Amino acid sequence: MVDDEIQEIFERSGCEGAMLVRSAADGAEFGLRADELVVPASVIKVLVALEAETRFADGSLDPRERVALGGRTGRPDRSASPCSRTMWPCPGGTWSSSC
């Protein structure tokens, strides 16, 4: 089953995960431990990571460059404080919000 495969990926990665995915087209759902409480910050990081990856792919954001998120505009703000909602590029094309 798909949920077993996804759970195995989490285990191999040494982490835990929970998710609920709903189709915008027909409302079909898939959940893995979907009723468990999660820390909202963790959920927000996923959205930021997806947006960053989209911008890396279309070339509008350089994955080797540090970028601070621009508050309400949602646009990169390279003038912000280095510890204010900053994404740091890491080896392997990943990023971290740690200062």
Residue 26 vs residue 80, higher pLDDT: 26
Minimum mean pLDDT among 27-36, 39-48, 54-63, 90-99: which range?
90-99
Quickly list DSSP for the chain.
-HHHHHHHHHHHHT----EEEE-TTT--EEEESTTS---HHHHHHHHHHHHHHHHHHHTSS-TTS-EEE-GGG-SEETTS-TTSSEEEE-GGG-EE---
pLDDT at position 80, please? 46
pLDDT, tens digit, for every residue of 79-91? Answer: 544 444 455 555 5
The domain spans of the chain are 1-37, 39-99
54-73 average pLDDT score = 80
